[in-house]
Structure 1
Amino acid sequence: MAPALTAPLLFLPGLLVEAAVRSRNALYAAGAWRAERLPAPVVSVGNLTLGGAGKTPLVIHVAGRLAALGVVPVILSRGYGRRDGARSHIVPPGCEADPSLVGDEPALLRRRAPAAWLGIARDRHGAGRAIAARVRNAAFILDDGFQHRRLHRDLDIVVVDRSQPLCNNRVVPRGTLREPLSALRRAHVIVLHGHAPGGADASIDAALLRIHPGAAVIHAAQRIASFVPYRSWRDGTAGGRAALDAPVFLVAAVGNPRRFRVDVEACATRVVGERFFRDHHRITAEEWRACAREAQRAGAGALVTTEKDAIKLARGPDLPLEVAVQSTAVEESSAFERILEALVRGSR
């Protein structure tokens, strides 16, 4: 939320942004603005807040489930943080995805969802049509797509991290909401994960259901499955460990760094320091060296980073580097599977 001193300055801009968002949503709801359609089912995975909400692990999970259902997953992404945001890139399965060209998250999706096609473009409808012309039996996943109203979706999934401010939040710039909470009524599925401060999970769940009682509610556990040495992770040559014995120093450029620290500490791993950068920042070699020096002064035996940051590394730093590999486990897996099955069946 905005600090008390700046809140009055942000009041009017906040009202203008919220009014613009509400007007845009009303135009789509009234049919004055129409969403473009693709010739295959589209699943959107998005969220309501700025920063990391756990969308990427869920996109990976959905891509795997769609492939298991016999369709070809196609992930459409804006590709934030890439060198030339104006260019479009189509990446078939088996082809490398350079993070400087496609962005860090699509590059990670290429690694974790090898059966998927990637379409990286501002015009995600155009990228989708280009892939649809080459792929039969496709199903599209619109990454970070809840606010991308230009593209029609058959299934709208909204990810909610309970550890982030939500019910008492405001629309940017007065808060971190991308649009008012009432926008949740567009969602078909709400995926809940994380834990609210003070054990308020149940009250947050109840508040969301009051906003949209007709939504399917799915609970997910997003956690660090293992820590893998960087070179082994890069080469795919070895498994990892559930916890690290030596104290560690965290280095990451992510949207929700506090959640990253909580997840590492939940693995019975002691954190003695941290250095966080803005989301999607490409950490330079000099910054890695500075982090290694700071980590050594703090008594750390290793650095720990995210897969999203490891994918951008040309070589590891001097201090041992461990990559925290995330996983998503859906609690109501059968119900979630039925939702995806219905989507696929309806397209055939």
Structure 2
Amino acid sequence: MAHKRKSEQLETYLLSVIDGSAEGKWPSVLRVIMAIFSWLFTLIVQTRIQLYKHRIIRGNTLGCQVISVGNLTVGGTGKTPVVEVFARNLQQQGRKVAILSRGYKSKEASFKDKMIQRITTGRIETPPRVVSDGKRLLLDSWTAGDEPYMLATNLPEVAVVVDKDRVKAGKYAIRELGCDTLILDDGFQYLKVGHRLDIALVDSTNPFGYGHLLPRGLLREPMRNIKRAGFIFITKCKEDGAPELKEQLRRLNPVAEISECRHAAKYLKDVFGDTTYPLEKLKGLKVAAVSAIAVPESFESALEAFGAEIVYVRRFADHHRFSQQEIINTINWSAKRGAQAILTTEKDAVRFPFVERRDIPIHYMRVEIEMLSGEEEFMDWIMRICFKTPRDD
């Protein structure tokens, strides 16, 4: 636990150095060092892309539709709801869909299990973890990872398969689950599998990752590489969209379809039950906001927009796995501040351990993608992927 806290503190500090909020001599020195490594990282990234582009390194062809959904920055672009709406639309148009996820911070096979496999089979090659086979939910969030588990819960007729090697996961989904369409979750940089289509997400609140590649900024590759995308989602937009950003992206990619969208809250749901509540419940309600996401400000702003009075805020590092004691401590502190409910995100809710206490209700906010522009183009894309035309309907 102490090691995890130190790791999260270091992550928070480095982010403050990157965004410039950490001031003084040493943060300035660290930014210079980061810039040097950023230049080296850029060289490595661009070399790798060219090796795949010129087929010096060959990607794998899996013999079915492969679509990647990803982004050029690290951190929260709101990717999971986009993957969800994309997979649901493909499934509703008759495709047998599997989402292939790396399963960030999911539980790996134990050393003991690996050694047993080595002794019995002569090699260590674990099969992919099937979170859902498109019929049943098979794993918990601890084993699957929070985002794959959330996708599997919300998409009961879509398979979700987790493995760092998504070539292996894709072959398994085709062979064992009968899938004919694969979605690479966070797959924009995953070049080992050939993509028919690339969908790139751009966060309107921080589109260019502070203008630098890792570690000086948050970019995984230069922003100009968005030219690989066939469809661009600008996420977290305000009601009037993001016209200036859209124009900037159009200059970088003249041919891609561009959709502006926002993450719209739909309802509240009990973290430990099935009861749902309308968003109107938040009006005038004193709440504690608890989250472990990349951009907690957006969640907290949404609560206030619906009339909630935030009396206590507790933020953890992105993907933090909550302990039972942390939840109990949160309940205690929330009660002392006069909170009438504890609110968290859906992504965080799947990582909440069960607690018996019910003196303060704990809800999460269900959020879905709402397109502000480009919806017709998006549906045309879906139809083309499914080899349909409007007349087929």
TM-score, scaled relative to structure 1: 0.91
Instruction: Describe the superposition over 1:306-327 as per-residue Cα deviations: whole angstroms up to 9, x where unpaired.
Output: 1122122342454210111111
Partner of 2:120: none
Paired AA for residue 167 in structure 2? H
Q: 1:45·1:142 contact (CA, 8 Å) conserved in 2?
A: yes
Q: 2:343·2:365 contact (CA, 8 Å) conserved in 1?
A: yes
Q: What is the CA distance between 1:99 and its match in structure 2?
A: 1.2
Instruction: Describe the superposition over 1:79-125 as per-residue Cα deviations: whole angstroms up to 9, x where unpaired.
Output: 01112079521231213321111111111111011111111001111
Instruction: Describe the superposition over 1:153-182 as per-residue Cα deviations: whole angstroms up to 9, x where unpaired.
Output: 111111111012517521011111111101
Identity of aligned residues (%): 28
Is 1:247 aligned with 2:286? yes
Q: 2:67·2:183 contact (CA, 8 Å) conserved in 1?
A: yes
| Ranges of 4+ aligned residues in structure 1 off by more than 4 Å | none
Is 1:89 aligned with 2:129? yes
2:386 to 330, 341, 344: 344
Q: 1:42·1:152 contact (CA, 8 Å) conserved in 2?
A: yes
Q: What is the CA distance between 1:255 and its match in structure 2?
A: 2.0
> Hey, what's the Cα distance between the residues in 2 that align with 1:138 and 1:264?
40
Partner of 2:201: 159
- Cα 1:182–1:248 change in 2 (3 A) is same
Instruction: Describe the superposition over 1:208-266 as per-residue Cα deviations: whole angstroms up to 9, x where unpaired.
Output: 1111111110122212111122233xxx3x33211313121111221222222223223
Instruction: Describe the superposition over 1:269-322 as per-residue Cα deviations: whole angstroms up to 9, x where unpaired.
Output: 222232121222211111112222222233321111111221223424542101
Is 1:263 aligned with 2:302? yes
User: Please, which runs of 5 or more residues in structure 2 have no aligned partner?
Assistant: 1-17, 21-26, 110-124, 389-393
> Hey, what's the Cα distance between the residues in 1 that align with 2:212 and 2:337?
38
Partner of 2:344: 305
User: Please, which runs of 5 or more residues in structure 1 have no aligned partner?
Assistant: none
Counterparts of 1:137-286 in structure 2 under 5 Å?
138-166=180-208, 168-195=210-237, 201-232=242-273, 236=274, 238-243=275-280, 244-245=282-283, 246-286=285-325
Counterparts of 1:45-60 in structure 2 under 5 Å?
45-60=69-84
> Hey, what's the Cα distance between the residues in 1 that align with 2:93 and 2:57?
33
- Cα 1:191–1:200 change in 2 (3 A) is closer
> Hey, what's the Cα distance between the residues in 1 that align with 2:244 and 2:189?
26
Whose helix proportion is higher, 1 or 2? Answer: 2
Give the 3-state SS of the residue equivalent to 2:94 in structure 1: coil
Give the 3-state SS of the residue equivalent to 2:276 in structure 1: coil
Q: 1:81·1:281 contact (CA, 8 Å) conserved in 2?
A: no
Partner of 2:327: 288
RMSD: 2.1
> Hey, what's the Cα distance between the residues in 2 that align with 1:200 and 1:113?
28
- Cα 1:167–1:228 change in 2 (3 A) is closer
Q: How many residues align?
A: 340
Q: 1:97·1:110 contact (CA, 8 Å) conserved in 2?
A: no
> Hey, what's the Cα distance between the residues in 2 that align with 1:279 and 1:21?
24
